[in-house]
Amino acid sequence: MAYSKSLCGRVREALAGERGVTEKKMFGGVCFLLRGNMQLGIWQDALIVRLGVDAARQALTEPFVRPFDVTGKPMRGWAVVDPDGVDSNLQLRSWIERTREFVSTLPPK
């Protein structure tokens, strides 16, 4: 399944003008990197978010959020937000901010 072009466009728009953000096609989807560190991505029709271990564990208690698992082993510190969890621009921007909070603590690559 291809990635959601519409969700990708919404993410691009939300990140427009953000310093240090780049885009890269990866894993059959699109990832956005902050200072060289993966921040979030679009995989199939969902948003992949990098939150760190504790915040990702907490996010899994929220509606429309599930573990990021494409290989049979969930990726620690990551979660998948299903389309209903990013339906509004307010929801999407909230997830982007949460990823930025964590990824901005990482050293640039």
The CATH number linked to 83 is 3.90.1150.30
Q: Domains in the chain: how many in total?
A: 1
In a domain, 84, yes or no: yes
pTM, to two decimals: 0.94
Residue 92 domain flag: yes
pLDDT interval class at 28 (50, 70, 90): confident
The C-alpha atoms of residue 9 and residue 100 are separated, in whole angstroms, by: 18
**49 contacts 79 by C-beta, under 8 angstroms:** yes
> In angstroms, rounded to a whole number, what is the distance separating the alpha carbons of residues 79 and 44?
14
**pLDDT, tens only, 46-78:** 999 999 999 999 999 999 999 999 888 999 999
Q: Which residues constitute the domain of residue 45?
A: 5-102
